[in-house]
Amino acid sequence: MISRYFQIQQQVDIAKKSLSHAGHVQKIYGTSRYLCLQVRFPGKNLVFYIGRGHGYEGFWVGDEVPVSFIRKKDQWVEWSRKNLTSSLLIGISMDPIDRGIRLEFQKIGGKEFLYVSWIGRNAYFAQYKVENRDWFLSWTERREGEDGFEIMNEVGRREIKDTGDSAENSISIKTLLESEVKDAKAKGSPNKKIKTIENKIKKIGNDLEKIMNWKNLQSYVVNDFSEDEFEKNEKITVNRISYKFPRNLTAWQKRDWIFDQVKRLKKAEALQRKRQEESLQEIEELKNKTDKIINTLHVSGPVWSSKKSAFIAPKKEDNFIIHSFDKFKIAVGASAVGNDEMRKLWSKGNDWWVHAANGKSAHAIIKLATDSVPTLEVITQAAKLIANQSRITATQIEIIMTQVKYVRGVTGAAGMVTYKKQKTLLCDLSAGEIE
């Protein structure tokens, strides 16, 4: 869906009616075609959908989040979750001359704006932090400057002609999402797990066909046993399946051996019947789910230049999370066990360990590209991650830091450490983010 200017304006006007009160950004989702912000207003939830470009251009207001089948996670979703989740949405406005919107957010660190513009078939976005006049631009390097839609001039913003009102309404986001689900199912590939189980069931059936020969084998021994024949033969063939006798057995011993095989085959039949039943039940459950088809739709835009220091999505290990930046990494423990694992398995002696100076908090470890002392900006970034993981809401936090080689775990007490040669710093959590 390519929205015209007045169609985007219609949706912006709908959103403005809800913004008489601030809305809390609760969750952020992505699909192949839209970025989705779930916002809680007094008495209701709304979902704002932003087109990703390449034929999906515009802004829509909906009541429901996208179904899990079409949800996708990419760089833009991760960036948005990091920068917008838990913010207060306090305003929205329309570019006066071109297809673009501005969302206004209030955070602990001050006021911020998110700009999204659809120029040509591409989507571009930019974040502006009012306090330090800092621009984060999806298409190039970040910089300082003045606020305004004019930032989009460098990617082709221009005055368009259909800015007037029109009776033509936008297609509802509900209809657009239904279309995406339909396309994803039509173009999707079968769930490999279903195919694996189908092959398993086929193999069990083939095995059962051989195992069930025990009935013919038992009938043959009971009704057609011949001592002379058994004495001279090294094997017997029943229903095209051969059974070779062990060496040096008499005819009657061979007969007893066959009865033992019948007992074994009966047990094998019961086991295979159980496996067959469980597999049939599992595949029926899978076929009743939407994910019997894998969504292979390509994730569209926005334009994201490789020239700037790109945001790298946090990598989650079992019990700690690694945040990657341009020239350093910061790991944060997600639990007491994670604090220990991060220190023992991920860090090295010359890395830097960080913790809140007063009270309990998550542990963080700063890993620099070279063996050196982290800058105040890097330390502040670690403090922010600690505060976020520990749910510390203060605007300042006092931290202690020392190199990992001076930190020792306490035996039998997960997450507890002793340390020496520490430094104490007061960090301002409202300072600008590092990308």
Q: What is the DSSP letter of 406?
A: G
Q: Which of 225-229, 306-310, 406-410 has the lowest mean pLDDT?
A: 306-310
Has residue 155 got a pLDDT over 80? yes
Q: Tell me the C-alpha distance between 9 and 214, whole Å.
A: 76
- What mean pLDDT is predicted for residues 72-83? 90
100: how many CB neighbours lie within 10 A of its CB? Answer: 25
Span 6-46, pLDDT tens digits: 999 999 999 998 888 889 999 999 999 999 999 999 889 99
Q: Which of 90-94, 194-198, 264-268 has the lowest mean pLDDT?
A: 194-198
Q: Tell me the C-alpha distance between 111 and 105, whole Å.
A: 6
With cut-offs at 50, 70 and 90, classify the pLDDT of residue 171. confident
- What mean pLDDT is predicted for residues 362-374? 89
Angle between helices 251-287 and 214-224 (to 10 degrees): 160
381 three-class SS: helix
Q: Number of helices (H) and strands (E), helices first, in the chain?
A: 9, 23
CB 162 within 8 A of CB 149: no
Task: From 172, 192, 185, select the one nearest 70 (Cα to Cα).
Answer: 185
What's the pLDDT at 309? 44
- What mean pLDDT is predicted for residues 179-188? 83
Q: Which of 221-235, 238-252, 278-292, 366-380 has the lowest mean pLDDT?
A: 278-292
Has residue 236 got a pLDDT over 50? yes
Residue type, 88: L
Q: What residue has token string 């470009």?
A: 53
- What mean pLDDT is predicted for residues 385-398? 84
CB 48 within 8 A of CB 37: yes
Query: Is the model more confident about 155 or about 95?
Result: 95
Task: From 54, 56, 68, select the one nearest 293 (Cα to Cα).
Answer: 68
Task: From 372, 387, 185, select the one nearest 296 (Cα to Cα).
Answer: 185
Q: Tell me the C-alpha distance between 1 and 45, whole Å.
A: 24
Q: Tell me the C-alpha distance between 117 and 149, whole Å.
A: 9
Q: Which of 39-43, 87-91, 160-164 has the lowest mean pLDDT?
A: 160-164
274 three-class SS: helix
Task: From 392, 342, 391, 379, select the one nearest 363 (Cα to Cα).
Answer: 342
Has residue 163 got a pLDDT over 80? no
Ranges assigned E (strand) in 194-343 = 235-238, 241-244, 293-294, 312-316, 320-324, 328-333
Question: Where is 190: in which H helix or E strand?
Answer: strand 189-190
With cut-offs at 50, 70 and 90, classify the pLDDT of residue 402. very high
What's the pLDDT at 188? 67
Average pLDDT of the chain is 85
Percentage of the chain modeled with pLDDT above 70: 90
Task: From 405, 425, 410, 423, select the one nearest 351 (Cα to Cα).
Answer: 405
CB 72 within 8 A of CB 133: no
